[in-house]
Amino acid sequence: MISSFVTLYKMSYDTEHVRNAGDTPRMITGIPTFTELLENPSLASLYTSIRRSTTATGPELVEATTVSKKTVYDYLHKLEQAGLISKAGDDAGTAVYTAEEFELILTVRETEVSITPELIEVIAQKNEYPPIKRVLEEHGIVTFALAYDLVKAHSEGDVTIRQIASLTDLSPGTAYDLVEALYSILDLGDDESPPTTYTPDDFDEDEGNLLEEFADK
């Protein structure tokens, strides 16, 4: 899988190294579209629908989405131009699209986070989950992606909610709300109970090691 390194403080990208992650990677050329994919849940949802269906046509997507027909085809054009989807053939003269896999690595304060199709699928649901929308809008994609990785670690009992809050600079309440939302979307933990908080006495001692661990990934 091919990764790339970008700096997101001022949304500047090394476009020569932003590529998809297929067997024969091609350049992802439409960086503004990639940025919009992180910010626009309707565009993220369209990409996710194509990826989850393996293939999809324009008419199928028009039926499945809440945006207008014109918007669907505008989005398809954007995604194709950006290298995020490609034509896999045609069905009675109608283009059939498939989604490209990708991984974008962001490095901030010596901490690496991954932007993947799985993360885009979560972003597509931000309007249904206020904690996700709040973290994305108030703290940005890097903080959200780091929190996403930490929540998965939390489900394994490896980190506490307090540690998630500390490592992401989120308030404990926001961290808990985000954990709860991601548990629901990702089907983590026990469906009958909320996420446990895991508050070990040696939290302060472990925090530095945890940050180093996630920086190395």
How confident is the model over 27-75, as pLDDT tens digits? Answer: 455 567 777 888 899 999 999 999 999 999 999 999 998 899 999 999 9
**pLDDT for the residue numbered 13:** 35
CATH number at residue 80: 1.10.10.10
| Domain span at 45 | 5-99
The dihedral formed by the CA atoms of 113, 118, 119 and 123, expressed in degrees to the nearest 10? 180
Residue 64 domain-assigned?
A: yes
pLDDT < 50: residue spans in the chain: 1-27, 198-208, 215, 217
Residue 140 domain-assigned?
A: yes
Per the structure, the count of domains in the chain is: 2
Model pTM above 0.85: no
Same domain, 156 and 205: yes
Same domain, 86 and 159: no
Residue type at 169 in one-letter notation: D
User: Do the Cβ atoms of 50 and 97 come closer than 8 Å?
Assistant: yes
Residue 82 domain-assigned?
A: yes
Q: Which of 83, 99, 115 is the last residue of a domain?
A: 99
Residue 76 domain-assigned?
A: yes
